[in-house]
């Protein structure tokens, strides 16, 4: 139901054509209202705290589990010392003969000993108390030469974990705050609060304030997660990983900012098309699928350069695809700039379409507004 005051608010020149100063003030007032209501919510603060703790635990566990194991102490004679020294993650204790090597092994001073042995395939023999280190046995075994036609620039497991990390952060933040925006819009329609709001400020100012407020909250979470990741990597001694993640994390923050604005505008528009919480899923489900797609596709195809290249240029998946490509070194210096331009164009288009749907549907009560009706007004 549209009241006379509401109708006059929509048609009044002062409301439909506000000055830049009044529009900016109105946007900030709505944004401040959104931020304050979320920060005062115990559920929001508890969920944010749990998310940060889980992220910290994940970084610490992953960091400690990926740390290089303690080197194996290996005894060797002068004839075998050079062979053992070439093996990774070992320390060599040189001995004079077999008897000295046996004493060190039995006393537990070394894990094993490598001695010369004629007539064997490798020319050496391993002495161990009860079990020889598997890494030593594999290192001294004869293996065929392997020529890689497309060698990996990063560790496959690390690349997989980074893809999961970027994808999970994007999925959780976008879906959580997107649902928050949608719920706020529907609540205001159900309680008729929206009629009071747009009698004071234009509809597009209300939309811009909602998007701005939730974007600030989402970016605050991203910054906190980045700080936790940095602290966790420093504590676990993963300095090389931290150095490699620096630029990709910064690009992820930039891409996430505009990607979230795009999604926030669409979530607001989708929620404005319904008047009840029970109907919200019908209009927001396509957006949820769009948010989940980058997470699933990047995890599945993180080692496929063709698919990752495509994903890094699609506006909905670029916030995840491009940072992953930057981390593994597959992207040229100009590619993130081009991808960002495409994302900005998509963001502008989504804002224009979302604002039109939002403005044409916000005061429509009752049955769900069809998309074509919302676009036509």
Domain boundaries, the chain: 19-65+153-376, 75-132
Sheet with 124-127: strands ordered across: 90-94, 72-76, 112-116, 124-127
In the three-class reduction of DSSP (H, G, I as helix; E, B as strand; rest coil), residue 192 is classed as coil
In the three-class reduction of DSSP (H, G, I as helix; E, B as strand; rest coil), residue 114 is classed as strand
Task: Read off the pTM.
Answer: 0.75
Specify the pLDDT at position 68: 55
- Which token pair is 315? 């506006």
* 8 Å CB contact between 324 and 298: yes
Per-residue pLDDT of the chain (377 residues; tens, 9 = 90+): 444 444 444 444 334 445 666 888 889 999 999 999 888 888 888 888 888 888 888 777 766 665 556 788 888 888 888 888 878 778 888 888 888 888 898 888 888 888 888 767 677 888 888 887 877 777 777 666 666 666 656 777 778 888 888 888 898 888 889 988 999 899 988 888 888 888 888 888 999 999 999 999 999 999 998 888 888 888 877 777 777 888 899 999 999 999 999 999 999 999 999 988 888 888 899 899 988 888 888 888 988 889 999 999 999 899 999 999 999 888 899 999 999 999 999 999 999 999 999 999 988 887 888 888 888 86
CA dist 333 and 312 (Å) reads 13
Residues in the chain: 377
CA dist 26 and 18 (Å) reads 10
Specify the pLDDT at position 344: 95
Question: First vs last Cα of the chain: how many Å apart?
Answer: 16
**Where is 250: in which H helix or E strand?**
helix 239-272
How far is CA 292 from each of CA 135, 287, 288, rounded to the nearest angstrom? 40, 9, 6
* 8 Å CB contact between 282 and 274: yes
């Amino acid at each position: 139901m549209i009241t006379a005051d509401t109708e006059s608010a929509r048609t009044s020149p002062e409301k439909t054509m506000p000055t830049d100063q009044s529009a900016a003030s109105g946007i900030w007032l709505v944004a401040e209202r959104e931020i304050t209501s979320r920060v005062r919510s115990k559920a929001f603060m508890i969920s944010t705290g749990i998310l940060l703790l889980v992220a910290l635990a994940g970084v610490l566990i992953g960091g400690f589990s990926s740390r290089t194991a303690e080197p194996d102490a290996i005894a060797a004679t002068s004839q075998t010392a050079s062979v053992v020294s070439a093996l990774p993650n070992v320390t060599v204790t040189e001995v004079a003969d077999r008897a000295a090597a046996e004493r060190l092994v039995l006393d537990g001073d070394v894990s094993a000993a490598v001695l010369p042995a004629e007539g064997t395939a490798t020319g050496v023999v391993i002495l161990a108390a009860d079990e020889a280190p598997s890494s030593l046995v594999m290192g001294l075994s004869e293996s065929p030469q392997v020529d890689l036609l497309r060698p990996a620039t990063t560790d496959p497991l690390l690349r997989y974990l980074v893809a999961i990390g970027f994808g999970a952060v994007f999925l959780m933040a976008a879906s959580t705050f997107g649902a928050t925006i949608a719920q706020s819009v529907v609540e205001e329609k159900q309680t008729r609060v929206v009629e009071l709001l747009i009698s004071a400020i234009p509809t597009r100012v209300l939309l811009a304030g909602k998007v701005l407020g939730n974007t600030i909250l989402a970016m605050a979470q991203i910054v906190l997660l980045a700080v936790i990741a940095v602290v966790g990597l420093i504590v676990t001694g993963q300095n090389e990983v931290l150095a490699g993640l620096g630029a990709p994390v910064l690009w992820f923050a930039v891409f996430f900012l505009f990607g979230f604005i795009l999604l926030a505008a669409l979530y607001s528009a989708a929620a404005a098309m319904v008047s009840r919480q029970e109907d919200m899923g019908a209009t927001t489900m396509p957006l949820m699928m769009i948010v989940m797609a980058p997470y699933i596709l990047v995890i599945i195809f993180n080692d496929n350069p063709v698919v990752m290249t495509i994903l890094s240029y699609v506006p909905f998946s670029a916030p995840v695809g491009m940072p992953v490509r930057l981390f593994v070194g597959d992207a040229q210096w100009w590619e993130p700039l081009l991808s960002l331009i495409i994302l900005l164009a998509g963001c502008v288009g989504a804002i224009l379409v979302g604002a039109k749907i939002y403005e044409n549907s916000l005061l429509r009560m009752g049955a769900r507004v069809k998309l074509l009706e919302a676009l036509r007004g």
